[in-house]
Structure 1
């Protein structure tokens, strides 16, 4: 899974907001590389997330979950269900992401369990599983605020961080700029330049096919729209 967020050209996922296992299974028949289950702006409970993760896996479509750092008590529950990692929105400092990294790895403060779905209900090789948790879980801090931009090198330099994800909409709003303002494009370019020399991948939200083409060679992963947004826009474009 880590290679999806560490190699170019960029892998492509989508924000998964519908909470539908059937939709997750259907998307496994598309060229998408992964699902990003949205627990920040959608409302899946743990049972729903488990069903979505399982449905994606039917067609080798792995899942990462976006969840706010204030919900740290759910992190291990989500990973025990079989999610391949976490995206943390509004990451502002290296200390924040280091604390989260410690909470989700056995070499940190994570409580040990092999009876989980991620542990194949006790049937996964223990040493292989511990190695995977400690070294291959995906951790994706989102850079969306002035503090995050200021501290981006320190955040990207945390060993457990796989890639950073730039959130252009919140980046604009947090700087009191309109979404889509050219100044945000300049900030994104600056972030890319500052992170490029580091051992850390880059990710970006791509809301349009043009964004997808623009950033695909400059990033390790892209989030292209959402399942719900694609569904509604398809009907709107066709019927209006």
Structure 2
């Protein structure tokens, strides 16, 4: 079983998984963090300067070290999703999913169905032509994960229905944008925690969220979360630098 297929199986079976965001568009970052005990990585194509070339190189590094890497895409554009899946991504995290109709369109764009993902066997995902096209098509569904990010009022209201859409593997709570959506300023507001808990309790798909590096994941597990993103390569650099600076002799 490929690393991507193992990830999807673990995700959908709600095993406890932890990963981090990648903000720096360079394959060496993937090579280094891929040699740790993290379960997966997410390239932040929404808020960081990733282009198609840097995504491709990072996914090549991911294949070399055998770690599943998802892409948080900028939006729900099916052409961009097609490209990152062809490059070998383990799946996508799609921001601002708010409706069943949007989730259904996304699910189609992930899979080789009528009106869905365009098929080509000459990609990295298809083994550059070494894998027979029928085999690639048959195996592809097990190797890509669709994670819908819930970070708007409408998304919270429709979370149960979105989670029930065939092809949606998980919901990911974005508490920062959710705070903005509800007109609040505190990421840790009790009202936002309650909304996050509502989403984490959705049936039909795995659920998870971003947790701060020093935040206890246990209470979120108890509310239904099974996968967590915490920190990034940037936060690791900051934390390591602070530790080193504190060691300077007086």
TM-score normalised by L of structure 1: 0.92
Match 1:21 to one of 10, 19, 27: 27
62 and 51 in structure 1: CA distance in 2 versus 1, 3 angstrom threshold: same
Contact residue 200 and residue 208 of structure 2 kept, 8 A: no
2:128 is the counterpart of 1:131: no
- Give the corresponding residue for 2:217: 212
Q: Which blocks of at least 5 consecutive residues in structure 1 are unaligned?
A: none
Query: Equivalences for 1:1-240 in 2 at 5 Å?
Result: 1-108=7-114, 109-177=116-184, 178-193=186-201, 195=202, 198-216=203-221, 218-239=224-245
Please give the secondary structure, in 1, of the residue aligned with 2:139: helix
- Relative contact order, higher structure (CA 8 A, sep 6+): 1
User: How far off is 1:69 after superposition?
Assistant: 2.5
Contact residue 35 and residue 62 of structure 1 kept, 8 A: yes
Which is worse superposed, 149-158 or 225-234? Answer: 225-234
Aligned-partner Cα distance in 2 for 1:232–1:4: 31
TM-score normalised by L of structure 2: 0.88
59 and 215 in structure 1: CA distance in 2 versus 1, 3 angstrom threshold: farther
Please give the secondary structure, in 1, of the residue aligned with 2:98: coil
User: How far off is 1:9 after superposition?
Assistant: 4.1
162 and 8 in structure 1: CA distance in 2 versus 1, 3 angstrom threshold: closer
Aligned-partner Cα distance in 2 for 1:134–1:120: 15
User: How far off is 1:141 after superposition?
Assistant: 0.3
User: How far off is 1:136 after superposition?
Assistant: 4.1
Q: Which blocks of at least 5 consecutive residues in structure 2 are unaligned?
A: 1-6
Contact residue 14 and residue 206 of structure 2 kept, 8 A: no
* Count of residues in correspondence between the two structures: 237
